A and B are shown apart, each in its own frame.
Chain A
Amino acid sequence: MSWIAIGVTADIPLRGARCVTTPQGPIAVFRTVENRFFAIEDRCPHKGGPLSQGIVHGAQVTCPLHNWVISLETGMALGADEGSVRTFALKVEGEKLLISSEALARRTA
């Protein structure tokens, strides 16, 4: 797997998110209160809401449009809602954040 640098940890506020644009659409990169980092597709499985704009709590984000809660670890919608988003491997090297190059590949399945 090859990795692409997207920035440094300080770019993202604690319990916050930023987005990375790609030709396949935006990816949301999150930083949790425990300083864990996750990257998922920035498109809510409900109606496409921008997850990077949601409130981050635990390892979850609440979509800003209609409050679906998405797990950052699995990309699955939690609670009564059903759906999932793609997740992407992310690596922290010192200060640097790197995302797996599959982020550039189209979804195949």
Chain B
Amino acid sequence: MNKKERLVIVGAGMASGRMLEHLFETDPERFDITLFGAEPRGNYNRIMLSPVLAGEKSFDQIVTHDAAWYDAHQVECRFGETITRIDRAAKMVCSASSETPYDKLVIATGSAPFMIPVAGRDLPGVMAFRDYDDVQAMVAAARKKGAKAVVIGGGLLGLEAAAALRLYGMEVVVLHLMGHLMERQLDAAAGYLLQKELESRGIKVHCKAQTSAIVGHGRTEAVLLDDGTLYPADIVVMAVGIRPEARIATDAGLHVERGIVVDDRMLTSDPDILAIGECCEHGGICYGLVAPLYDMAKVAAKTLTGVEAAFRSIETATQLKVTGVSLYSAGDFADAPDREDIVLRNSGAGIYKRLVLKDNRIVGAVLYGETTDGAWYFDMLRKGTDVSEVRETLIFGQSRQGGASLDPMAAVAALPDDAEICGCNGVCKGKIVSAIIAKDLTSLDDVRAHTKASASCGSCTGLVEQLMTLTLGDKYNPGAVQPICGCTTLGHGDVRRLIKAKSLKTIPAVMQELEWKTSCGCAKCRPALNYYLVCDWPDEYADDYQSRFVNERVHANIQKDGTYSVVPRMWGGVTSAKELRAIADVVDKFHIPTVKVTGGQRIDMLGVRKEDLPGVWADLGRAGFISGHAYAKGLRTVKTCVGSDWCRFGTQDSTGLGIRIEKFMWGSWTPAKVKMAVSGCPRNCAEATCKDVGVICVDSGYEIHFAGAAGLDIKGTEVLGVVKTEDDALEHIVALVQMYREQAHYLERIYKWAKRVGLDEIRRQILEDPQKRKAYFDRFAFSRKFAQVDPWSERVSGKDKHEFRPMAAIGFPVVAEGAL
């Protein structure tokens, strides 16, 4: 039998993962492969740890190679095992528990985070930001109430960590040694804009900060600076840089400078040992971004299979992965006498662009606030394109060149075939377009799988989608990309369309007709289907309560201890002595432990026992209260300010309008929750400009806003338009919400839906087309007839009784009936 060569790989990270893929594409049978990884898990997309930390993605979503993949390719995985020594004479790698022989060895150990050598750096609570363990440690700390974090290092990594930790409500301070943030990528002006943005999110930034010690008894308590400033800290995240992880190579006597020295073929000074990734050094450079590492992986796979290949250093571009901040930087922009700058500043709009030219060629680009032209500049930078012809208009971007339109699609269409779209994976436009055509790719996931474009940091997803639209036209439906869940291959958009087209009117009918893969769905698809059916067939469909999340089934919010909270409606945030007295009585009677004023201008009673709910509701109902739907994918609150009734600035009756909207719209189910607010003047005390729908009253009428967000994302609203009367305002708002009800995917808030369908489309249908508007309004008005039944009073009168009491009590001493 022909014995295979033994290939051993040390380090199961991004570089070696990519190398294995190339290897299996070209020569899958060649080696018996053993893969060692110090982390107790296989390869994942390390870049995406920031979104995982921010809670925007789950760890599962960033795993690139799972157990099934390793299995299918017969890779022997030794995760959780650190290689401590290479015995080159015996051709063996050793760990604490094993010795493994190799014919070829690949070192892909990545980098180790640099920990600044100050007193206290070993205290528990000091951590790096490098792997998933670090993320878990940070999340655990961030979840503690009132916890404080100090992030040392204001570079890419530090800022991504700081922004994410801030999202958990932590108090976050960023300490940065240099005069401005991200000084390696940004100049001072852009650094300043970035600092302002972070400060507006409540992150404190301290530049020129020299850390002198981390202090604490038994765990970190604070960080002390040279100038005596003391920042309290429950955790300290060090993100000051990385060092190639080359220890085993040094010990084995390989040639190591800053990293393990490799030649163009990725061979180290020992011809049987290769090194790739951040641990190695090529041409005097150690890399810290994936694009060049992926090139290394490709070259190493070729070298291993005996094919000629050479690695060439490449220019890299970076983006900051903080939601809501657009920042792009490429090349070099240090000041030098032979260089010229072109700068565009619009600090009002938060835009800053700088191009550095040398001999009429772009050598550096920094874009802040608006980064769509990044790919275009980077393409010219890499190619050394002479820009003297277009110099005058260059800074305004590609769309302003030679009369081309402002349409982003046209900009993508105008890119040459060899323009790089995905910087991480070095994929150019031509390759993506030809893969789409040749392999008949219609979903983003397919394009990712076949070309790797946008499969790493994801910041070019928009460009890739534009290319798909350009190539496929209507055949590309971004909504169809993600199936609803594992029970179906269809996405939300298709399911909604087919429910209408095929007149499907029950959940079993949908599952049957659309070929569901499970017998009765799951907790993800059933609530979505139930909503779509309620929305589409308001008078015919019988709501399926068993497909609702418990809160919507029992009309209260479940709490961590299994008790419930009760929030009655307080129209527009207005209450009375009688209502408050009724609440006080209920609280006393049912021994409700907590009463809290909510962020939505009403009162929450927390800790109610499930059996008590009908009793609580009965008493509240007698005082005139109905359910506040604090648990519902439906209208929550309409916050108001005091308006023209009282306020010296009020221009209209904002309180009255808010109450009118709430009374008209309560009870209807929506794809996700809907929150509104009405402010009496532009001082905006009801905070209408961060709501799903908001109104700002002005002298001349009502300015209608929509698509704001102030939860997981923060986003100011868009203006729909200004209308003259209260009736007009109500009609526009109801029509807008109905359009959303009919089109959005389940759990998609208004701002996400609006982004998907386009603001102009919404304005066109709601503002500019009175007939469409009226039709939407009428459909809402029709459906609300079936929805405005107070669920609490229904249950007080006996509906769903079984929900509120146990079926039986066994093993308890028998008591007389009446005493129970």
Contact = CB atoms under 8 A, between A and B. Distances in A.
Given A11-B802, A57-B526, A62-B523, A20 B558 contact: no
A53 B558 contact: yes
Contacts of B97: none
A19 interface: yes
Contacts of A29: 807
B810 A99 contact: yes
B807 A56 contact: no
A97 to B, nearest CB: 8
Contacts of B523: 54-55, 57, 62, 67, 69
A13 to B, nearest CB: 6
Contacts of B809: 20-22
Interface in B765-818: 802, 806-812
B520 A33 contact: yes
A102 to B, nearest CB: 11
A13 B800 CA distance: 10
A12 B805 CA distance: 12
B519 A20 contact: no
A92 to B, nearest CB: 14
B60 interface: yes
Nearest to A34: B519
B350 to A, nearest CB: 37
Given A26-B806, A64-B558, A65-B560, A55 B527 contact: yes
A19 B554 CA distance: 15
Contacts of B518: 57-58
Contacts of B522: 55, 57-58, 60, 62, 69
Contact of A56 (B546, B802, B808, B810): B546
Given A54-B550, A55-B526, A64-B549, A33 B807 contact: no
B811 A104 contact: yes
Contacts of A67: 523
A54 B523 CA distance: 9
A67 B554 CA distance: 18
Interface in B556-570: 558, 560, 562
Nearest to A13: B546
A21 B546 contact: no
Contacts of A19: 806-807
Interface string A39-53: 000000001111001
B547 interface: yes
Size bracket, chain A contacts? 35 or more
A77 interface: no
B493 interface: no
Contacts of B808: 5-7, 20-21
Interface string A1-30: 000111100011111101111111010010
A18 B802 contact: yes
B708 interface: no
Contact of A14 (B60, B519, B521, B546): B546
A45 to B, nearest CB: 15
Interface residues of B, number: 28
A4 B810 contact: yes
Contacts of B810: 4, 6, 20-22, 99, 103-104
Nearest to A103: B810
A80 interface: yes
A15 B811 contact: no
- Most B C-beta atoms less than 10 A away, residue of A18, A24, A53, A60: A53
A58 B520 contact: yes
Nearest to B813: A23
B562 A13 contact: no
B806 A21 contact: yes
Nearest to A66: B560
A20 B806 contact: yes
A64 to B, nearest CB: 4
Nearest to A20: B808
Contacts of B560: 47, 65
Contacts of A58: 518-520, 522
B550 A53 contact: yes
B353 to A, nearest CB: 44
Nearest to B800: A13
A15 B527 CA distance: 13
Given A11-B802, A33-B520, A55 B807 contact: no
B820 to A, nearest CB: 11
Given A58-B518, A58-B519, A62-B523, A11 B550 contact: no
Interface in A85-101: 99
B560 to A, nearest CB: 7
Given A33-B520, A64-B558, A80-B60, A18 B806 contact: yes
A7 B807 contact: yes
Interface in B529-568: 545-551, 554, 558, 560, 562
Contact of B550 (A21, A34, A64): A64
A2 B526 CA distance: 38
A33 B550 CA distance: 18
A53 to B, nearest CB: 4
B806 A57 contact: no
A12 B546 contact: no
A4 B523 CA distance: 32
Contact of B807 (A18, A64, A104): A18
B325 to A, nearest CB: 30
Contacts of A55: 522-523, 526-527, 546-550
Contacts of B546: 13-16, 55-56
Contacts of B545: 13
Contacts of A20: 806-810
A99 to B, nearest CB: 7
A41 B806 CA distance: 14
Interface in B508-524: 518-523
A34 B808 CA distance: 23
Nearest to A23: B811
Contacts of A18: 802, 806-807
Nearest to B525: A57
A13 B802 CA distance: 9
Nearest to A5: B808
Nearest to A61: B523
A22 B520 CA distance: 31
Contacts of A13: 545-546, 802
Contact of A15 (B520, B549, B554): B520
Given A47-B560, A57-B526, A22 B519 contact: no
Nearest to B60: A80
- Most B C-beta atoms less than 10 A away, residue of A21, A47, A69, A99: A21
Contacts of B812: 21-23
A20 B812 CA distance: 11
A4 B810 CA distance: 8
Interface string A67-87: 101000000000010000000
Contacts of B811: 4, 22-24, 103-104
Nearest to B518: A58
A21 B809 CA distance: 5
Contacts of B60: 80
Interface string B37-64: 0000000000000000000000010000
A99 B806 CA distance: 15
7 contacts: A4-B811, A11-B802, A12-B807, A22-B812, A23-B811, A50-B558, A55-B549
Given A67-B523, A99-B810, 13 more contacts: A4-B811, A5-B808, A7-B807, A11-B807, A18-B806, A21-B808, A26-B806, A33-B520, A49-B562, A57-B520, A57-B522, A62-B522, A64-B550
Interface of A: 4-7, 11-16, 18-24, 26, 29, 33-34, 47-50, 53-58, 60, 62, 64-65, 67, 69, 80, 99, 103-104
Task: Identify the 8 closest CB pairs spanning chains A and B, nearest first.
Answer: A62-B523, A18-B807, A55-B523, A53-B550, A15-B546, A6-B808, A64-B550, A104-B811
